[in-house]
Every structure is written in C-alpha cells, then in structure tokens.
Structure 1
C-alpha cells in the first residue's frame, strides 16, 4: 500500500487555498487509481473542496465516465497528451467543479515501450473559463509506488497557489 502521509501537508495547503477561494476540484485518475482524491480527502474540510473523483483505469471507463472518444484512445493510446486533456475536460464537464485534474501514465513495472516508457505520465489541468493545460513528465523506471507518489505530488504542487493573491490569476497561470 502506498504511504500518502508525506503528501498530506501539501494536500492540506491545496484544500485550504481552494476553500478560501470558494472553489471545487474534480479528479480523473488512471495510473494513480484514486490516490489524488485519496490524499485530498484525508484532510479535514476536504468535503468543501473535493467535488468528485473519477477512477478511470480502463479505456472503457475513460470513454463511459469522462466522454473521452474511443477513437482518440485507439489512435493516440490512453497514455497521451490528447487523452489527458480530454480526461480533464470530461471531468470538468461532468461535475460542478471549478478545476479538474487528470493523470494517465505507465506506472510499471511492465507495460512500457520505447515510445511510452515506464514512468511516463501525462497530466491535464482544466479550469472553467481558461484553456486546458497539459504537462508531460518522465519520472523514469523508479518503481510503481514512487511513480504514483511523484505523480500525486506534482499534481498537488501544481494546484497550490492557483487562487493565491501573490501571483496574478491569469490564463497563463492555469
């Protein structure tokens, strides 16, 4: 079982910042299997922020729950930029959240290829009224637990400061 305790301080910051801004979050998770929502809901007060989480481990779930076109998955593969973006946008469209985050990747130990090696993760960040943002990260073949924890940590880090007053809240920030 993956130990999420090291990420709880960062999760608490996300919950606090979203709550202070009156904003809600949805997650669409494949390779993390719900760990992002899991660490966020460990925090007291998370019910004011976490609107819902979609665990879409299979391609069918991505299509049925998030509306990701099956032909997109067939052409690009589940682990791809366009699928990550479609997952985030689908989670936003199918929720009352203000922000949605998606992750799809190859956690390992198997399942990688030269084009999509173990440790490759695609992230989507969708926010109402803003362009959807994509990140690609290659963590390397560092072990399944570490890939998943690093993925959750990157998401939480990206979500912090999203509604803060220190940085301008512009489209370029989301």
Structure 2
C-alpha cells in the first residue's frame, strides 16, 4: 500500500480531523496490510500523547510517531472489543474502548467525530465477530438482495458511496 492509497481511503472514509498527525499518516503504508481498508480515523490523545486512531475492518490502531523514540503502534483486534462509549463536551469529545480488563481512553477528539468513531467501532466489531463465528452461515444472496445489503451499509456510513457504487457495478457485472 502506498501513501496515495492511504490518503484516498481517508478521504473516502470521511475523515476530517488529522490535527497533529501528519507524520503518523505518512507511516500508515508501512503499518497497514495490503488488504486492510480504512473505515475511519481521527486524531486524539491517549495517555497524554497525540495519536492517530485508525479503524480498519479488522483492528483499531493507535499510532504515535515521536521525534526521539520513533514510531509506536498499538492495536486492539476487533474481536477483542467488549464495549465502546463516548462523551461530548462543549468543544471536544472522548471515546472509551474496552477490551477485556483494559480500557483505552481517547481524549480531545473533535466533538462531532466522537460519536462517529464510537458507532463505527461498534458496527465493525459486531460485523467482524459475526463473520468469525459464522463464516459459511451467511446465506447466498441474489443480486438485488446483495445490492440492498451494501446500500444499507452505505446509508449507515460503514462504507462510502463510492465503495457502494463499485460493489453494485461488480454485482451487476458492469
């Protein structure tokens, strides 16, 4: 994956706040796998450090590129997410992600981005867990049902309109 692909995925995901994380964005091509898709991202504070929070279809990444210690990347696999909550203040918000006995608090998120991040983490984690439990249990859908399913995902903001259009064209064989 290259930087142009990462920037395109960020744009398609509707990412608006990358305050103070330009170096972290530049490091994403070396951290993400080729088949990972960015679902959402925002900047925030974790343990007092400015980080880039990146949600993909398989994990939540917390990336901090410091001047002295290089890059620090931690992750929470989506199947380990037990709970997600958010709060909003006058200007900034925060999101708490619980995995097992650990809670990661992401603070100083732009107020409008906190509920978006929380909702997308919840949706992606549930979808990931369902697919892990029942990979073959999903019944085969015909073309119109598949298109309806992807349209609902686009309407809920889980995939972008461009991704929906591409999947629709693929299903219709265009």
Given the two structures, how large is their TM-score scaled by the length of structure 2? Answer: 0.28
Higher relative contact order structure (alpha carbons within 8 Å, sequence separation ≥ 6) = 1
Q: Give the strand-richer structure, 1 or 2.
A: 2
| TM, length-normalised to structure 1 | 0.28
